[in-house]
A and B are shown apart, each in its own frame.
Chain A
Amino acid sequence: MRISTHQSQQVAIDAMLDQQKKLSTSQHQVATGQRIARPSDDPVAAARMLNLHDTLATAEQHQENIAAARTRLTMEESVLENVTSIIQRVRELTVQANNDSLTPQDRGFVAEEIRQLNAELFNLANSTDSTGDFMFSGAKSKFRPFNHSEGNGFEYHGDDGQRFLLIGPERQIATGDSGTKVFRAIKDGNGEFAIFDSESNRGNAIISPGNSTGDFEDGHYAIVFAKKVNPDGSKEFSYKVTGENGEIIIPEGTPYKDGDAIIFKGVNTFVEGEPEDGDFFVVRPSENQDIFTTIERTVNALKGVNGNSSDHSGLHNEVNRALVGMDQALGNILEVRATVGARLNALDGQEEINESYKLQISQIMSKVEDLDYGKAVSELNLKLTGLEASQKAFTRVQGISLFNYL
């Protein structure tokens, strides 16, 4: 093929330009350590990188949320731990005070200590978190959840709301519990029913709070005692149980001995001591009662404010109820703490999942994006050699002309 002089020069110049362009790409790669400078270098990888960056950032966000959730739940857990130990202490004191050998004055001291503990408990229920939000007022986080006033007793100003945080794709976790759930939604009595002694009782019968058998039939029942004193001085006791509309459940005259079990409609209880004729006890379904009220009533009973405290039976009945109430409260708080613990565990689990996910993504990202230095540097050398060669070739070819020999 015929070659024109212009063409032979142009070819050499084009070759040099081309080599320079390739060299510049290689140089950029080696300088930045990145294989992809612009999406067009590898469009599929570039789009993938964008998505991976996004996924990584989302996973990091989830980790941050986990940290925030952990702070809140750990705080809640530590408050609940204190709550538990206070209630346990109150329970111990109550058991102590239930002893007949204590003087009313001693009982008053114990009552005062329990009252202090109740105030402490009340303060814990009004705890705030690091941002000044109340921990137990549900969504109404700027409202002090619990108030106490003479006329209205303990009032709740929060709601049942819970705060949630996203801790993983499709996974969210509650980062708190409402005051209702922790302190208020506690069934009195044994959780199924509660037994009250009548204030008009004259005898010294003490009724057991009863075992919950799980099949309590809702309703109000009255256990009414009769006492007959025989001419020989011996006493005969009998009782009957009636429903709320007067229907007979256990007929009148059923004989009764100290400690006999009284069983009806899922209620299983017994009475100790001697009831007077006409003394009665009322069984009703358990209702929610907040822990403060439960403790306050105990305090009042111990101080003799309520019932016929001159006679120990009223005190014992009240205290017995309070003790099962406290057991209910402890059970409830234990349950809440168990869910908090489970959530903290879930956070740990999810954190590990997120962390390994992040690691995977980072590895993929480095595979997609990072430069193989060995390969890149050898390519750079190759291209340098190429450019040098084409430059030399150009000067050599340039020098040759027939005119030189004329």
Chain B
Amino acid sequence: MAGDILGISASGLLSSQRNLATTSHNIANANTEGYSRQRVEVVARTPQARANGAIGTGVVVANVGRVYDDFVAGEVRENTSSSTSLSVNHDYTSQVDNLLSDPNAGLAPSLQSFFAAVHGVADDPSSASARQVLLGEANSLSERFNYLDDRFNTIRKGVNRDVHNIVGEITEIADAIAKLNDTIVKAREIGGGSPSDLLDQRDRLVENLSERVSVRVSEQEDGRLNVFMGNGQALVVGSVASKLEAQNSRYDPSEIEVIFKSGNGSESVITRFLTGGKLGGLLDFRRGILDASQNELGRIAVGIAKTFNEQHRRGMDLNNDLGENFFFENDVRTPKVLPHIRNEGDTLLSAEITDINKLSISDYQLTYREGQYKLIRLNDDKLIGTYSSLPAEVESEGLRIDKISGSRLENGDTFIIRPTRLGAQNFSTIIEDVSKVAAASPLRTEANIANLGNGKISAAVVHDTENHVFDRQRSKLSPPFVIRFVDETHFEVLDNTGNAIPIKLAATPDDPHIQHDAEGKPVTVAAKETANPPGVSTVLEYDPKNGSDVFPLPDGTDFGFRVHLSGEPKAGDTFRIGFNTDGIGDNRNAVELAKLQTTPTLSNSTADYAQAYSQLVSRVGSKTHQLEINSSAQDKLLTQAKERRESISGVNLDEEAANMLRYQSLYQANAQVIATANKLLETLLGSFR
């Protein structure tokens, strides 16, 4: 009987020792990250069956297990992925946000000073210093574009480096999980129970993984944990881990892609399937903010270069030459087309911006299949069009795609087209000589001083100096024109050099005018005008009330400029249109250049340069704002999930203290029972003495 008692209370002692040990383990791990509190499960030992009933035999420790909720753990993982993704994205986006808004680094001030300098040239077109200021400001503008682009590239490098590191970490963690899987199975086989601390460790690893990329897990029956990512790639299966690698993109070596290498050695690019975690956040940032912002900045750069150059070429410089390109345009104009490294054909393509106004900020993908080229806009995955031959005019996007070289194209060959990515990088000023700034208009209009009527000719508005009448080589108008009134309501447009222009105009002798000899001294050329010039000519109607536009001629012939006649000319009155030689005090083209500042030339004529930039700033700003809100909301969700988990699995020291007291007294009680049993035994033995 006393033996029973001893056995029973010994079992009680043991179980309370186990409980105390577990309590101290809990206390020891109270602050251990990812630790789940452990609990001793005790059950009554199997009773001895007697005739008078079942006699209790004490207590036994059934299991030491962790208090753990699978569902809550899953919740914590998911929220961790979302939360880190948003916070990484927010961190990087804030960098761009700060960069663009920095009053010293942003584009706005440079743009403003540049146009102030254009106004300066308009105020005083013949001043070399005003022109020097303009070139200086143009260089600052170029440097600002280059600087911003450089910063974008630095950020891009940072992103690529982070992707590289995180991909490495993911592979390591996956490896560790696979190894732990094995250890856990072995521990189970040896100990029979569940190895709580190992399980905690593994859960902790999975949580670390969730911080890096979004994963899904499922447990095998033997206790091994399988981990999946992306759109179903198995990162860990049983005790085998797959590998992730960061490699240079097959289109563009400066871009990094994530490659999945499965156990059987097959490789696939999974970049676009990855979501969540730091990796997902980085990739989201790269796609959604970095690429878009750099493209947008590039578009502004290309826009300025193209539109400013266009107007500048319509002008005339101090050397009496027609304006040339002000900003470097060749490469900016030619957007980058990148063939996939695995393309089987040898064809290389090019793209040209045909309309900067329609150009979007997206990149495009062109795929060749069965004689058809399919063009997809990448920011919304929209099919733009299918083309059966090159060159393809993509009018809606302001692009033309053409072939550079090569003869073969195979099914599946793809190309990435980046119309404006390099815009800001390639932005530079090419004019270095102050005299090359084309502030003047290249045309001069004059009423003959011998005119009897009071007819007036407007200043010419030039819109196309590529027209054949503009002789770039020799800096002249070829031919110069003269408008001669036949009577008060009819005039004819005549060639003023002696050669007929292709509208059957007859030659008319030169008007008297002043030329300059080699030393620049004015020399008068005498009038040779005859009363009735020979030949036929087109006679045009003149409206003395409202005046008349002369060009384009009624048959549609356009000479690249417009003039307006007004007033009441008389028969024989003439008006000359010639090259604006020595018109260095003319500022008409500078004024037109200055007007570009507030002309909506971008985004389907909705934005001028500064507005396009503020749109970029606003886009990044609101994205940052949105990420900030989402990120803090997601943090709250994560905190709640973690609180739920802590509430279930966390250690409460007060609780443990109470438990300690409880198990201590339990131990004391059992020990007291042993002492009692001992006394009973002694009493029994003493009765035989």
Q: Which residue numbers of A lie inside 8 Å of B, CB to CB?
A: 1-7, 10-11, 14, 38-44, 46-47, 50-51, 53-54, 57-58, 61, 64-65, 68, 131, 133-134, 137-143, 147, 152, 155-157, 159-166, 169, 172, 180, 184-185, 218, 285-288, 401-403, 406
- With A40-B97, A155-B514 as given contacts, are A57 and B112 in contact (CB-CB < 8 Å)? yes
Contacts of A46 in B (CB 8 A): 101, 617-618, 621
Which residues from chain A contact B580 at a C-beta distance below 8 Å? 139, 159, 161
On whether the beta carbons of A38 and B97 are closer than 8 Å, the reply is: yes
Give A130's nearest chain B residue, CB to CB: B124
B585 adjacent to A401 (CB under 8 Å): no
CA gap between A65 and B587 in the complex, in Å: 13
Looking at the complex, which one of A39, A58, A140, A180 makes contact with B583 (CB distance below 8 Å)?
A: A140
Question: A54, A159, A185: which contacts B112 (Cβ < 8 A)?
Answer: A54
CB pair A61–B116 under 8 Å, yes or no, is yes
Within the complex, what minimum Cβ distance (angstroms) separates A154 from chain B? 11
Contact A139–B585 (Cβ < 8 Å): yes
Cβ of A4 and Cβ of B119 under 8 Å apart?
no
Partner of A166, one of B97, B451, B595: B595
Could you pull out 12 A-B pairs where Cβ atoms are within 8 angstroms? Answer: A5-B654, A39-B624, A40-B622, A51-B610, A64-B123, A140-B585, A160-B447, A163-B586, A164-B122, A164-B587, A165-B122, A218-B570
The answer to the question of B222 belonging to the interface, with a C-beta cut-off of 8 Å to chain A, is no
Structural contact, A286 and B522, CB atoms closer than 8 A:
no
The reply to whether B583 and A139 contact each other, CB–CB distance below 8 Å, is: yes
**Contact: B570 with A14, CB < 8 Å?**
no
For B31, B621, B649, which residue has the most chain A Cβ atoms within 10 angstroms?
B621
One of B450, B584, B594, B614 near A288 (C-beta < 8 A): B450
Contact of B652 among A2, A133, A141, A152 (CB under 8 A): A2
One of B249-257, B376-384, B438-446, B462-470 at the interface: B438-446
Q: Assuming A7-B647, A54-B108, is B126 touching A131 (CB within 8 A)? A: yes
Do B101 and A44 touch across chains, with their CB atoms under 8 A apart?
no
Chain B 606-643 interface 0/1 with A at a Cβ cutoff of 8 Å (1 = within): 00001101110110111111001000000000010011
Residues of B within 8 A of A51 (CB): 610-611, 614
Contact call A47/B617, Cβ cutoff below 8 A: yes
Task: State the CA gap A248–B108 with chains docked (Å).
Answer: 77
Structural contact, B652 and A40, CB atoms closer than 8 A:
no
Interface of chain A: mostly helix, strand, loop or mixed:
mixed
What's the minimum C-beta distance from B79 to chain A, rounded to whole angstroms?
Answer: 15
Q: Is B550 an interface residue (CB 8 A)?
A: no
**Could you tell me how many residues of chain B have their Cβ less than 8 Å away from some Cβ of chain A?**
78
The answer to whether A4 and B112 touch (CB under 8 A), given A39-B624, A51-B614, A139-B583, is: no
Tell me which residues across on chain A come within 8 A of B654, comparing CB atoms: 5, 401-402
Q: Are A162's CB and B119's CB within 8 A?
A: no
B584 with A139: CB separation less than 8 A: yes
Enumerate chain B residues within 8 angstroms of A41, measured Cβ to Cβ: 625
Pick the contact of A285 from B444, B452, B591 — CB < 8 Å?
A: B452
CB A92 to nearest CB in B, in angstroms, measures 28
Distance of A55 from chain B, by nearest CB (Å): 9
A402 to chain B, nearest CB (A): 4
A180/B613 contact (C-beta < 8 A), A5-B652, A46-B101 known: no
Contact across chains for A6 and B650 when beta carbons are under 8 A apart: yes
Residue in contact with A4 in the complex, picked from B101, B617, B647, CB distance below 8 Å: B647
**Set of chain B residues within 8 Å of A161, measured between Cβ atoms:** 444, 459, 580, 583, 585-586
Contact of A43 among B588, B595, B625 (CB under 8 A): B625
B651 near A39: Cβ-Cβ < 8 Å: no
A142 engages B584 (CB within 8 Å): yes
Residues from chain A with a CB closer than 8 A to the CB of B524 are 152, 155
Inter-chain contacts of A68 with B (CB < 8 A): 123-124
Known: A6-B651, A58-B598; 16 extra A-B contacts, CB below 8 A, are A3-B647, A3-B652, A4-B650, A4-B651, A38-B94, A38-B621, A39-B618, A65-B122, A140-B583, A160-B444, A161-B580, A162-B459, A166-B119, A185-B447, A288-B450, A401-B654
Q: Given the complex of chains A and B, what is the CA–CA distance between A164 and B450 in angstroms? A: 27
For the complex of A and B, list the 10 residue pairs with the smallest distance between their C-beta atoms, beginning with the closest: A4-B650, A141-B585, A39-B621, A47-B618, A40-B624, A43-B621, A139-B583, A139-B586, A43-B622, A50-B614
Which residues from B are CB-within-8-Å of A58?
A: 115, 597-598
Q: CA separation between A134 and B122, bound complex, in Å? A: 16
A1 touching B647, Cβ below 8 Å: yes
Chain B residues within an 8 Å CB radius of A403: 653, 657
**Residues of A close to B628: CB separation below 8 A:** 40
**Shortest Cβ distance from B102 into A: residue:** A38
Residue of A nearest to B108 (CB): A50
> Is the Cβ of B449 less than 8 Å from the Cβ of A185?
yes
Query: Contacts A287-B452, A288-B449; is A141 near B625 (CB within 8 Å)?
Result: no
The complex places the Cα of A284 from the Cα of B248 at a distance, in Å, of: 88
Central interface residue in A51, A61, A161, A164, by most chain B CB within 10 Å: A161
Tell me the nearest residue of chain B to A174, going by C-beta. Answer: B459
Q: How far is the CA of A65 from the CA of B452 in the complex (A)?
A: 37
CB contact under 8 A between A286 and B657, given known A50-B610, A160-B445: no
Q: Please measure, in the bound complex, the distance between the C-alpha atom of A364 and the C-alpha atom of B505, giving whole angstroms.
A: 60
Q: Are B584 and A39 in contact (CB under 8 A)?
A: no
Chain A, Cβ-Cβ closest to B609: A54
A257–chain B nearest beta-carbon distance, Å: 33
The one of A3, A40, A147, A401 in contact with B94, judged by C-beta atoms closer than 8 angstroms, is: A40
Question: Does B125 lie at the interface of the complex (its beta carbon under 8 Å from any beta carbon of A)?
Answer: yes
Query: Given the complex, which residues of A lie within 8 Å of B31, measured CB to CB?
Result: 6
* Chain B residues in 8 Å Cβ range of A169: 598
Taking CB atoms, residues of chain B closer than 8 Å to A4 are 37, 646-647, 649-652
Q: Mark B637-669, 1 if CB is under 8 A from A, else 0.
A: 001001100111111111001100100000000
B563 part of interface (Cβ distance < 8 Å) = no
B64 at the interface (CB under 8 A from A): no
- B122: chain A residues within 8 A (beta carbon): 65, 164-166
CB neighbours (8 Å) of A165 from chain B are: 122-123, 587, 591
B350 within 8 A of A: no
Which B residues are CB-close (under 8 A) to A1?
647
Q: Is B100 an interface residue (CB 8 A)?
A: yes
Closest-by-CB residue of B relative to A68 is B123
Q: B30 at interface (Cβ–Cβ under 8 A)?
A: yes
A131–B587 CB distance below 8 A = no
- Cα–Cα, bound, A169→B654 (Å): 75
Q: Bound complex: CA of A139 vs CA of B318, how far in Å?
A: 12
A2-B648 contact, Cβ under 8 Å, with A140-B582, A142-B126: yes
A143 to B446, CA, bound (A): 17
A142 touches B652 (CB 8 A): no
Contact, CB under 8 Å: B124 / A43: no
Nearest residue, chain B, Cβ from A7? B646
On whether the beta carbons of B652 and A166 are closer than 8 Å, the reply is no
Across the interface, name the chain A residue whose C-beta is closest to B624.
A40
* A50, A61, A156, A164 interface centre (most CB from chain B within 10 Å): A50
| Given A65-B119, A141-B126, A38 contacting B598 (CB threshold 8 A) | no
**Cβ–Cβ contact A218 & B452, under 8 A:** yes
Complex: A166 Cα to B599 Cα, angstroms: 13
Asked whether B452 lies within 8 Å of A131 as measured between CB atoms, the reply is no
Tell me which of B111, B449, B585 contacts A137 (CB under 8 A).
B585
**B127 at the A/B interface (Cβ < 8 Å)?**
yes
Q: In the complex, what distance in Å separates the CA atom of A373 from the CA atom of B321?
A: 59
- Residues on A with beta carbons closer than 8 Å to the beta carbon of B98: 38
